[in-house]
Amino acid sequence: MSRVALAKCQSFDYEYKLVREAIREAVENIGGLSAFLEPGERVMLKVNLLMKKAPEEATTTHPVFVEALADLVREFGCDVLIADSPGGPFVLRMLESVYKGCGYERLEGPDKPGIRLNRNLKSTERENGNGYLLKRLTLIDALNDVDKVISVSKLKTHGMMKFTGAVKNMFGTVPGMIKAEYHFKMPEPDDFADMLVDICEHVRPSLSLMDGIVGMEGAGPSAGDPVKIGVVLASDNPHWLDMTAVKLVGIEPQAVPTLRRAIARGIIDPEGKPATVEGVPLEAFEISDFKAPDIRSIEFLKGHAPYFIKHAADLMLKPRPVFDAKLCVQCGDCKRLCPPQAISMDKAVKGGYPVVDLSKCIRCYCCQELCPKEAVEIHRPFLLRIMTKF
């Protein structure tokens, strides 16, 4: 039976000693590091480094959280590799910029022997015969440099998946722009979720932790609002970690595509074999009015309406990205990183600000996710909001 542990940590400014103690407590409550690692092993801490954002913006796994965990793993006798493939091209210049901007430079150096940041930019194509959707995967080569993987995610909302946690964190093992290819090939939420579950099941993190001390609500995973939650979660199963986290903040598990698909595929069985929750009970956390995005769409039209009706409904009812000219600096990241290349920037049209071709848009919301100025909002038409209330 899987186990999940919760520990309280009210240090919202991330004081090292308090964060370390909460991590240690959570891990001890599910068996301690010795239940998951062997001294002498090489261990990857797979963090969330979506983009260059300051730690206080709650977009990335906080560097103090990572430092405390890395120190504990190192003291246990393992070498530590801290790794992720951020959004955008997987090149050294961008990776170093993200490390610096997210406060990760402090995590390696002469005073941190046995702990290093990943700079291996190669990737490997792997067989995935047991995959539900993906029979072959392209993943970062750094996975070949380690014996075990620990998922170290951030508790956040997500515009496409509603919630991003331990399972979606494994998407960062897909290098650079290959992620855009996966978005383009699997535009439907459930297909995309199946792909994420396939990747997580292939990588199979030995241990999963979540930084929920300060999480993100609203327009996550990068443009939302930091929210004080005060929790550290640990589990031997990334799906159960996510299940517990969404319940903690009041999200219905079936509303999260990755959990919905994991349940449908029999990977977890909430009814028959629920996980045990150790440490501090869920009820001890007072979390009210956590703002999660509404990702429901017009799925009820699928297979029931003529093409011209579905096409018109797509244009009139589907959510769409809207660009705020007051915030947009015309950097072009949204255009470059759009998987279906649905965004144009023409000086003769709207003064060079981004314009979306809705007939090409697959609603992956990478433009919102990766905008450095938070200039993209996901607009849900009024009629859609009314229709999805029922």
Give me the CATH number covering residue 16: 3.40.50.11440
**CATH code for position 354:** 3.30.70.20
Residues in CB range of 359: below 8 A, 6 or more apart: 315
Whether residue 304 sits in one domain with residue 279: no
* Selected residue with higher pLDDT from 183 and 7: 7
DSSP characters for 30-74?
TT-GGGT--TT-EEEEEE---SS--GGG-SS--HHHHHHHHHHHH
Whether residue 144 sits in one domain with residue 229: yes
Whether residue 169 sits in one domain with residue 240: yes
State how far the Cα of 218 lies from the Cα of 292, in Å rounded to an integer: 5
Backbone angles phi, psi at 157, to 5 degrees: -85, 170
Whether residue 176 sits in one domain with residue 96: yes
Whether residue 240 sits in one domain with residue 328: no
Residue carrying structure tokens 């996901």: 378
Is there a domain that residue 292 lies in?
A: no
Whether residue 328 sits in one domain with residue 217: no
Whether residue 306 sits in one domain with residue 273: no
State how beta strands 79-83 and 115-117 pair.
Answer: parallel
H or E element: which one contains 163? strand 162-164
Q: Which of 226, 252, 284 is the last residue of a domain?
A: 284
* Selected residue with higher pLDDT from 90 and 385: 90
Instruction: Determine the length of the chain.
Output: 390
Alpha helices in the chain (DSSP H): 16-28, 63-76, 92-101, 166-169, 178-185, 189-203, 238-248, 257-264, 307-317, 333-337, 366-370, 382-387
Beta bridge partners of 207: 150
The two three-digit tokens of residue 9, written as one number: 């940590």
Q: Is the pLDDT of residue 296 over 80?
A: no
Q: Is the pLDDT of residue 388 over 50?
A: no
* pTM of the shown model: 0.88
Residue type, 277: V
State how far the Cα of 194 lies from the Cα of 241, in Å rounded to an integer: 17
Is there a domain that residue 52 lies in?
A: yes
Q: Is the pLDDT of residue 102 over 60?
A: yes
State how beta strands 148-158 and 207-217 pair.
Answer: parallel
Q: Which of 284, 318, 351 is the last residue of a domain?
A: 284
Whether residue 172 sits in one domain with residue 87: yes
pLDDT per residue over 258-279, tens digit each? 999 999 999 999 887 888 999 9
Question: Average of pLDDT values for 27-45?
Answer: 99
Total H helices, total E strands in the chain: 12, 15
Whether residue 317 sits in one domain with residue 277: no
Q: Is the pLDDT of residue 253 over 70?
A: yes
Is there a domain that residue 290 lies in?
A: no
Using an 8 Å Cβ cutoff, are 241 and 210 in contact?
Answer: yes
* Selected residue with higher pLDDT from 37 and 294: 37
Is there a domain that residue 10 lies in?
A: yes
Backbone angles phi, psi at 236, to 5 degrees: -85, 0
Q: How many domains does the chain have?
A: 2
pLDDT per residue over 52-101, tens digit each? 999 999 999 999 999 999 999 999 999 999 999 998 889 999 999 999 99
Q: What is the mean pLDDT of the chain?
A: 91
State how far the Cα of 98 lies from the Cα of 100, in Å rounded to an integer: 5
Q: Which domain holds residue 227?
A: 3-284
Whether residue 335 sits in one domain with residue 253: no
